[in-house]
Structure 1
Amino acid sequence: MAFGSEFYWFILIGLGAQLVDGALGMAFGLVSSSILLGMGLPPAAVSASVHTAEVFTTGVSGASHAYFRNIDKRLFWRLTVSGAVGGVIGAYVLTRLPGEAIRPFVYLYLLLLSILILLRSFGRFMPKKQIQRVPVLGFFAGLLDASGGGGWGPLATSTLLAGGGKARTTIGTVNAAEFVITLAVSLTFFLTIGLQHLEIVLGLLIGGVLAAPLAAYLVRHVPERVVLTVVGVLVLCISLYHIGAAWLF
């Protein structure tokens, strides 16, 4: 099987996206989807390609976080079951309806979360207790993720961190849970539209698998304040970009 020169770019995209995703708990789907959509591919095909690659990248990422003991088992199961249900529903809906109407409002929510995370990173905001309705969060994060090819990390990680979650275990747990959500979403896409764009899938997969162990190592050793600051800035940029794209163009 011969691939063109773009295949190597897909590897680099997967490597960079997974390095950020594994270290900060978000961005693989958002980065990959934004580039693929910019190439003119249809949303359903983009989300299917990204999620197929993520089955493997999230598997390696989750195993790496488990090795470095970055996972909260109770939080993992509370996120995983509801997230998989939301992901399956989102994937099924995307193959039949455009799912962009609610996304600008989700990014307004993320904008608020980014401000809370940045305030927390500078010691100006310390939540009294952690998020209680984790299954509800998991459901909507899975739903958003499947409907747009990226969103599990920004919504789940940002909400948990803004609610007082510890950076290392929050990011590790969200990454590990993403494997189950991604597997459920990918199976739904496979049963509805089949496997498409193999070159893209393999490129993202190879780059992501290479980067996953390094990212898990970084999140264990980088100070929490630094992680919170970087996550806050990243979510701020993501939310502002998508809000602008939705209402200005």
Structure 2
Amino acid sequence: MDFDLALFAAVGFAAQLIDGAIGMGYGVIASSVLVATGLPPAVASAAVHVTKIPTGIASALSHWKFGNIDWAVCRRLILPGIVGGIVGASVIALLPLNVIRPLAALYLGVMGIVVILRAMRWHGFAPVAIDAPKGRPGIVGLFGGLFDSFGGGWGPIVTTSLIMQGRDPRKAVGSANTAEPVVAAVQAAVFSFWLGAATLTTIGSTALAIMIGALLAAPVAAFLVNRLPGRLIAGAVGIVLIGINMPTLIMLIGKLL
């Protein structure tokens, strides 16, 4: 058991390190690992969102220290993100397990492909000339909160969309990570309402181990965002996500055939 908890702490550390550095990866990595251990997707997603609250606050404070936050963008992400999170968390909590498990695996696997494709177009965090930002952060936040409930996706959707709108990548990462714990807190409350708070306590030690690892990684990640390019790390995240969820997808395809 001690080894398992140490492993989950390492998962939390790695997931938060990647997420804090490139603005994506924590939710989808942690959820994929928990689902792979046999947890129902809704319970895994609920547990991860609980851990996102303190880890997200730690990440936000670290990004604030390094000046990586655009507060105007952050504020415009939060309310739509909450609305999307409430809808998404309710859907995943109420769908039958035999329906949501393959859907969650499919979604997380697709997110892995999306992250890889984003990485192929990523130009890193080197200073570049940035045009006037276009697009509406609120719409980005809405879809980010909606799909994030299915096991992570806030970062891949919100961070990359903000960058594609022409925003400074450092500010995109910092702003998305700062808005995330607020949205995650509401999602955790919705999951608790539908699943029952007692459900989350059954995996309390696992969630705590992931959270401790992530908290240790948060300040390191905020520092690295000013030092490392994102392409190789993002590509590695995508490969990991596809690998973790591939067995479930292969099993699903086998049943269909």
CA distance in 2, matches of 1:93, 1:134: 24
CA distance in 1, matches of 2:21, 2:146: 23
Residue 141 of structure 1 aligns with which residue?
144
CA distance in 2, matches of 1:105, 1:192: 22
Residue 51 of structure 1 aligns with which residue?
49
What is the CA distance between 1:63 and its match in structure 2? 1.0
Question: Is the CA contact 1:84–1:139 (under 8 Å) kept in the aligned structure 2?
Answer: yes
CA distance in 1, matches of 2:13, 2:107: 30
Residue 202 of structure 1 aligns with which residue?
208
Look up the equivalent residue of 1:202 and give its one-letter code.
L
What is the CA distance between 1:214 and its match in structure 2? 0.7
Give the one of 80, 83, 89 matched to 1:82.
80
Cα distance change, pair 30–192 in 1 and its aligned pair in 2 (3 A): same
Matched, 1:186 2:184: no
CA distance in 1, matches of 2:108, 2:134: 18
Matched, 1:18 2:24: no
Q: How does 1:205-216 map to 2 (within 5 A)?
A: 205-216=211-222
Instruction: Show CA shifts across 1:119-176 (max 9, x none).
Output: 45289xx986534122111111111111x22111111112222332211111111111
Question: Is the CA contact 1:117–1:162 (under 8 Å) kept in the aligned structure 2?
Answer: no
Look up the equivalent residue of 1:213 and give its one-letter code.
P
Give the secondary-structure state (helix, strand or coil) at the position aligned to 1:183.
helix
CA distance in 1, matches of 2:16, 2:115: 22
CA distance in 2, matches of 1:62, 1:132: 23
Give the one of 147, 153, 156 matched to 2:155.
153
Percentage of identical aligned residues? 32
Instruction: Show CA shifts across 1:183-202 (max 9, x none).
Output: 11111112222133101111
The runs of 5 or more residues in structure 1 that have no matched partner are: none
What is the CA distance between 1:18 and its match in structure 2? 0.7
Look up the equivalent residue of 2:23 and give its one-letter code.
G
Cα distance change, pair 112–152 in 1 and its aligned pair in 2 (3 A): closer
Moved more, 77-86 or 160-169: 160-169
Please give the TM-score of this superposition, normalised by the length of structure 1. 0.83
Give the secondary-structure state (helix, strand or coil) at the position aligned to 2:225.
helix
Please give the TM-score of this superposition, normalised by the length of structure 2. 0.80
The runs of 5 or more residues in structure 2 that have no matched partner are: none
Residue 34 of structure 1 aligns with which residue?
32
CA distance in 1, matches of 2:118, 2:207: 35
Cα distance change, pair 245–161 in 1 and its aligned pair in 2 (3 A): farther
Question: Is the CA contact 2:15–2:214 (under 8 Å) kept in the aligned structure 1?
Answer: yes
Give the secondary-structure state (helix, strand or coil) at the position aligned to 1:221.
coil
Give the one of 132, 135, 160 matched to 1:132.
135
Question: Is the CA contact 1:120–1:162 (under 8 Å) kept in the aligned structure 2?
Answer: no
Give the secondary-structure state (helix, strand or coil) at the position aligned to 1:121.
coil
**Count of equivalent residues:** 240
